[in-house]
Chains A and B, each alone.
Chain A
Amino acid sequence: MGTLKGLLPDQLEALGCQIMLGNTYHLGTRPGPSVIMKAGGLHKFMNWNRALLTDSGGFQMVSLLKLAEITEEGVKFQSPYNGSEVMLTPERSIEIQNSIGADIIMQLDDVVRTTTTGPRVEEAMLRTTRWLDRCLGAHQNAATQSIFPIVQGGLSKALRTESVKQLIQRDVPGFAIGGLSGGESKNDFWKMVHLTTDLLPEDKPRYLMGVGFAVDLVVCCALGVDMFDCVFPTRTARFGCALTCSGQLNLKQKKYAKDFQPIDEGCDCSTCERYTRAYLHTIVTVEPVACHLLSVHNIAYQLRLMLSIRESIEQQRFPEFVCKFMANIYTNKEYPQWIVDALAAVNIHLDPADPTAEN
Chain B
Amino acid sequence: MKFILSSVASCSNRIGYIKDIERLPGLMLETPMLLLYAKGGSIPHLTYEVLQMVTKDKQPLHIPISTVAHCHEAVTAFRKGIADFTGLKEYFTFCSIHDPAVATPYGFNDKNTISIWPRNGRKQLDPDKYMDMIEAFQPDMYQALCDGDTDLKSSKKRIHKSIDKSLMFFEKCLERHEKSEKHLPNEKFRILHGCWNPGTVLSMVELGIDAFDSSYPYTVTERGGALIFQNCINNLNIPSSATDALNAAEPVTDIELKPETSISAQSSSEPPEKKKISTQEASHAEEDKYVVSKTQGHTTESQSSRLNKIYELSLLDEKYAEDFTPLSRSCSCLTCQKHTRAYIHHLLQTHELLGPVLLTIHNLHHYMEFFKSIREAIKSNSLESLKRCVNERNDVS
Listed in ascending order, the chain A residues whose CB lies under 8 Å from chain B are 1-3, 5-11, 14, 26, 30-31, 35, 38-39, 45-47, 257-258, 260, 270-271, 274-276, 278-279, 281-283, 286-289, 291-293, 296
Give the interface segment out of B238-246, B299-307, B353-361. B353-361
A35-B353 contact in complex given A282-B70, A283-B41, A286-B119, C-beta closer than 8 Å: no
B residues less than 8 Å from A276 (CB atoms): 85, 87
A271 touches B47 (CB 8 A): yes
A287: B residues at CB distance < 8 A:
39-40, 42, 44
Q: Are A1 and B352 in contact (CB under 8 A)?
A: yes
The reply to whether A8 and B354 form a contact with Cβ atoms under 8 Å apart is yes
Q: Looking at the complex, which one of A30, A257, A260, A289 makes contact with B47 (CB distance below 8 Å)?
A: A289
Chain A CB within 8 A of B27 CB: no
Q: Choose, from B57-65, B151-159, B341-349, the stretch at the interface.
A: B341-349
**Closest B residue by C-beta to A258:** B77
Within the complex, the shortest CB–CB distance from B306 to chain A, in Å, comes to: 29
Residue interface mask B313-325, A partner, CB < 8 A = 1: 0000000011010
Contact across chains for A45 and B342 when beta carbons are under 8 A apart: yes
Tell me which residues across on chain A come within 8 A of B43, comparing CB atoms: 289
**Alpha-carbon distance A35/B341, docked complex (angstroms):** 12
Contact A270 B342, CB 8 Å, known A1-B350, A31-B321, A35-B321 = no
Q: Assess whether A270 is in contact with B49, with CB atoms less than 8 Å apart.
A: yes
Closest to A9 in B: B338
If A279-B74, A289-B45 are given as contacts, then 7 extra A-B residue pairs at C-beta distance below 8 Å, sorted by A number, are: A2-B350, A39-B324, A278-B85, A287-B39, A288-B44, A288-B353, A293-B47
Give bound CA distance, A271 to B87, whole Å. Answer: 9
Nearest B residue to A47 by beta-carbon distance?
B338
Give which listed residue, B46, B70, B322, contacts A289 with CB less than 8 A. Answer: B46
A82 to B: closest C-beta gap in Å: 16
Residues of B within 8 A of A289 (CB): 42-47
Q: Complex Cα distance A31/B341, Å?
A: 13
Nearest-CB residue, chain A, relative to B46: A289
When chains A and B are docked, how far (Å) is the Cα of A270 from the Cα of B49?
Answer: 7
Q: Which of A7, A257, A270 lies in contact with B354, CB distance below 8 A?
A: A7
A351 to chain B, nearest CB (A): 39
Q: How large is the interface on B (under 10, 10 to 19, 20 to 34, 35 or more residues)?
A: 35 or more
Q: Would you call A274 and B334 a contact (CB within 8 A)?
A: no
Q: List 5 A-B contacts (CB under 8 A).
A: A2-B343, A10-B334, A35-B322, A258-B74, A270-B47
Contact call A270/B338, Cβ cutoff below 8 A: no
Q: Cβ of A46: which chain B residues have Cβ within 8 Å of it?
A: 343
| Contact pattern, B 33-56, Cβ under 8 Å of A = 1, otherwise 0 | 000000111111111111001000
Find chain B residues with CB under 8 A from A281 CB. Answer: 74
CB contacts (< 8 Å) of B353 on chain A: these are: 3, 5-6, 288, 291-292
A10 near B53 with CB under 8 A, answer yes
Beta-carbon contact of B78 and A35 below 8 Å? no
User: Is the pair A35, B350 in contact by a Cβ cutoff of 8 Å?
Assistant: no
Using CB atoms, name the residue of chain A closest to B351. Answer: A1
Contacts of B122 in A (CB 8 A): none
- Which of B74, B86, B352: most chain A Cβ within 10 A? B74
Cα(A287)–Cα(B77), bound, Å: 23
CB-CB under 8 A for A279 and B85, given A257-B74, A287-B40 = yes
Q: Report B-chain residues with C-beta under 8 Å of the C-beta of A47.
A: 338-339, 343
Contact of A11 among B50, B86, B324 (CB under 8 A): B50
> Are A282 and B41 within 8 A (Cβ)?
yes
A1 CA to B353 CA in the complex, in Å?
11
Interface flag for B215 (CB, 8 Å): no
> With A and B bound together, what is the CA distance between A45 and B341 in angstroms?
10
Cα A10 to Cα B47 in complex, Å, equals: 13
Cβ-based interface call for B104 (8 A): no
Q: Which of B343, B349, B358 contacts A45 (CB 8 A)?
A: B343
CB distance from A167 to the nearest CB of B (A): 34
Cα distance A185–B354 in the bound complex, in angstroms? 36
Cβ–Cβ < 8 Å partners of B78 in chain A: 258, 260, 278
B256 interfacial contact with A, CB 8 Å: no
Taken together as a complex, chains A and B put the C-alpha atoms of A349 and B73 apart, in Å, by: 49
With known contacts A6-B352, A39-B324, A292–B40 Cβ distance under 8 A: no
A4 to B322, CA, bound (A): 21
CB within 8 Å for A30 and B41 given contacts A39-B340, A258-B77: no
The CA of A279 and the CA of B349, in the complex, are separated in Å by 31
Q: Check if A2 sits within 8 Å of B87, measured CB to CB.
A: no
Q: Which residues of chain B come closer than 8 Å to A283, judged between CB atoms?
A: 40-42
The answer, among A31, A270, A271, for a CB contact under 8 Å with B346, is A31
A36 CB, min distance to chain B CBs, angstroms:
9
CA distance A278 to B79 in the complex (A): 13
Asked if B378 lies at the interface with its beta carbon under 8 angstroms from chain A, I say no
Establish whether residues B40 and A296, one from each chain, have CB atoms under 8 Å apart when the complex forms: no
B71 contacts the other chain (CB 8 A): yes
Contact of B87 among A7, A275, A292 (CB under 8 A): A275
Contact A282 B350 (CB under 8 A): no
Q: Which residues of A contact B44 (CB under 8 A)?
A: 287-289
Taking CB atoms, residues of chain A closer than 8 Å to B352 are 1-3, 5-6
Query: Using Cβ atoms and an 8 Å threshold, which residues of chain A touch B74?
Result: 257-258, 278-279, 281-282
B346/A2 in contact, CB under 8 A: yes
What's the nearest-Cβ distance from chain A to residue B346, in Å? 5
Which residues of the other chain, A, contact B357 by a CB distance below 8 angstroms? Answer: 6, 8, 292
With A11-B50, A283-B40, A286-B40 as contacts: A35 and B85 at CB distance below 8 Å: no
* 8 closest residue pairs by CB, A with B: A6-B353, A274-B87, A3-B354, A270-B49, A31-B346, A275-B87, A258-B77, A289-B42
User: In chain B, residues 124-154, which have Cβ atoms closer than 8 Å to a Cβ of chain A?
Assistant: none
Q: Determine the distance from Cα of A296 to Cα of B343 in the docked complex, in whole angstroms.
A: 22
The docked-state distance in angstroms from the alpha carbon of A275 to that of B350 is: 29
Measured CA separation A292–B47 after assembly (Å): 7
Q: How far is the CA of A10 from the CA of B361 in the complex (A)?
A: 13
